[in-house]
Amino acid sequence: MNDDRWSDLRTACTELESGAVLETPVSERRFDIVRSADDRIVVRFGDSGETHTLWREQFDVLTAQLADGDQNGLAIETLQPGVEPYAVLLTLSGTYTVTDDTIRRDDEAVAGESPYLVSAAEARTQPERVHDDGLLLAALLDGLENANEPGVLETDALTDLYVLASDVQHGADRLRQSARNALLDRLGPDQELHGRYGTVRRTVRERRRPMDEEAIFEALDEHDVPREWVLGVDPEKLDLVISVTDLSESEVYETGESVYVQKTSVDEDEKYSRLQGLVERIDALEGEEGEALRNELDEIESRLEAALASG
């Protein structure tokens, strides 16, 4: 790798969007760029926090396999874990691209673009997404004068309110389930654990489901219970009969409709852009005004956390 290509690679690394990461294609480990120097690029893996130094001379070894005129390229599936970060950065350099799961030299490659580049918005963890969605919802609620009267809201504001509330609900529920699993390992029978916002305890709830048909009939026979008492209509068998005979659905089913709102799409880019705007506005404020806004946002987040915990 000559000086110009090495310089281009370092430039592509330093110009990555803040928060963006790269992902190794085989082991699927995400890493970010820590720093670069004349002879190395240092990366950090997100799953372990460990840093790894990628030496320029090792890039030279790899690019030797991708010399001009080499049509074979480097198959992605053959990459070893220690080689993957090198290969990923090559695809970012503007000299190489990926086609048919193979890295090849490409004079039309664009520096800073790579199939293994994960945007800052996509790279966020689940807790970070919940936090960010909560902040967006809090900011939206703070700007609505009639949030407690949805019927008087403008359609776009009402739609945003529904979408953000839905995202917060689902994200918080996944986070709650993760916390629940961890808490179960720490809770003994009849034990309670206390936090700043509330208390939890271990609860056992019994769920029942019928045994297989043979076991049920055997038990009924032992107690002289007629089998007909527990026999019923099987909806799956009924649907089969409807599909192969002239029996109509209306003759055997009572049908009804329930109308609901379905979230069909979410503009994550717009959400992230709005979030960055909020952060930049806060960072730009100084003195008492900035401190007051930060305190207000902290208070909004606290109220939201309390509402989610109680729900």
Q: Which helix (H) or strand (E) segment is 166 a member of?
A: helix 155-184
Q: Which helix (H) or strand (E) segment is 201 a member of?
A: strand 199-201
Q: Report the SS3 class of residue 75.
A: strand
The two tokens of residue 24 are 């190794």
How many Å apart are CA 126 and CA 133, to the nearest integer?
11
The two tokens of residue 90 are 């090559």
Rounding to the nearest 10 degrees, give the CA dihedral for residues 157, 158, 159, 162: 120
Determine the pLDDT at residue 20: 92
pLDDT bin (cut points 50, 70, 90) of residue 18 is confident
C-alpha distances out from residue 292 to 13, 158, 228, 279, 286, Å: 37, 28, 72, 14, 10
What is the mean predicted confidence (pLDDT) over 204-222? 85
Q: What is the pLDDT of residues 57-85, one digit of tens each?
A: 999 888 887 775 455 788 899 899 999 99
Determine the pLDDT at residue 266: 75
Determine the pLDDT at residue 268: 77
Report the DSSP beta bridge partners of residue 104.
97
* Pairing mode of beta strands 51-55, 21-23: unpaired
The two tokens of residue 297 are 């946002």
